[in-house]
Chain A
């Protein structure tokens, strides 16, 4: 009888132990009784502070129901020295309104003092970077824009067509937020000008853009963008636009301060008409000021 008793004793102890452990378990983690949450597909947000890197469109969209009022300034080139207060005496400007329609759809319209040009665009992302099941490692966005030159006709004596004022650009943005700090993107771009200056100039200009952001702190980031023009620019006098900047976020505003060799503030202007050279000190200060307005508020109840 000795052996069975000990087995019973063991079983008794086991039962008590189980009991105690279950009680402990229950006390420690009631939430786990509901089972593990299934991982959900979730968009990766805030790759850039703004919908622009500096000059170029970024992979980021403004929130639906918001309007982004943007004021952009490009000053004169630094090599003018003190005479023009390092370019600050001159300023070229673009003012624009962007509207967030969906989380992956936005439109915008702006006007630049340079060539009195009006521009408009639509930007849509069929694929958004996300985590979880069925996720994508990158955001793929498409931008399609149009620009309209507003200057008086260069030669009023000849037959001029309205369409001659127009140029178009189409851009593909492939971008990825690699970490909380680092986001990178490439942007193959085609600009088409209906009218060019010389018979030898090409109507289509093809470029490959690169943009990035490196966060320095929660509210400050280093940014850069560059477009390497592959084809379409005249041999001399035109250069690839390269910009370096700092994004500073202060509540409702984002300030993008930068230096760049480009003066244009739409794709046609900065990709095809950048005449400054970094090597010659022909760079200029500039800033983008972005102020966000909530047009349609979310309901809390």
Chain B
């Protein structure tokens, strides 16, 4: 009987610690992307500063979400084409990444410092999901965590069509840079 009570208590405690396991988040992360080629007449780049990210430091699980319509271009017409013709943001409003830091144990989240990590997971863009693996950096400083990574995505993999007329002016691969400063998530 007593043993059982201990067991229940233990299990409940485990549940509680699991719920309270530290998670960090932001809603103001930043993603830059660049699809400029040497023959592009104009810079093809955009920024989104409303990236959502949640990191579970216990498991190393990390997830991102971003609204396609939140990308700002220098040129309004490019932004229009990006939304209407390339990414079809009415049909596919969101891009998401769900992955894990494969060497999470190498990061000491309680100690200030920079850690090189590898992130692996699934990127969903334009309704297509692909495996992505990228080196990244985790910086811990004064209770805040900065996560950054840079990788390339092949437009064709996500069925983003570039018309033949401009095929040499838009890069087939885009460079995507993610930078988020995360704060503790109070649940």
Contact = CB atoms under 8 A, between A and B. Distances in A.
A12 interface: yes
B56 A26 contact: yes
Contacts of A22: 15, 18-19
Contacts of A180: 90-91
Given A19-B18, A30-B63, A12 B74 contact: no
Contact of A30 (B56, B69, B73): B56
A249 B69 CA distance: 21
A298 B52 contact: no
Nearest to B12: A15
Interface string A1-43: 1001100110110011011001100110111011000000010
B154 interface: no
Contact of B65 (A4, A31, A100): A31
Contacts of A134: none
Secondary structure dominating the interface of A: mixed
B7 A31 contact: no
A218 B12 contact: no
A301 interface: yes
A202 B79 CA distance: 47
A189 B182 CA distance: 56
Given A33-B185, A294-B75, A298-B73, A23 B18 contact: yes
Interface string B1-33: 100110110011011001101010101000010
B59 interface: yes
A63 B18 contact: no
A27 to B, nearest CB: 6
Contacts of A198: none
A249 B27 CA distance: 36
A15 B63 contact: no
Nearest to B90: A180
A218 B15 contact: no
Interface string B81-98: 101110000110000100
B138 interface: no
A207 to B, nearest CB: 31
Nearest to A179: B90
A118 to B, nearest CB: 27
A245 to B, nearest CB: 19
Contacts of A301: 47
B159 to A, nearest CB: 13
Given A22-B18, A26-B56, A27-B59, A34 B77 contact: no
Given A12-B7, A15-B11, A18-B15, A298 B76 contact: yes
Contact of A219 (B62, B79, B85, B169): B85
Interface of B: 1, 4-5, 7-8, 11-12, 14-15, 18-19, 21, 23, 25, 27, 32, 45-47, 52, 54-56, 59, 61-63, 65, 69, 72-77, 79-81, 83-85, 90-91, 96, 161, 163, 165-166, 169, 185, 187
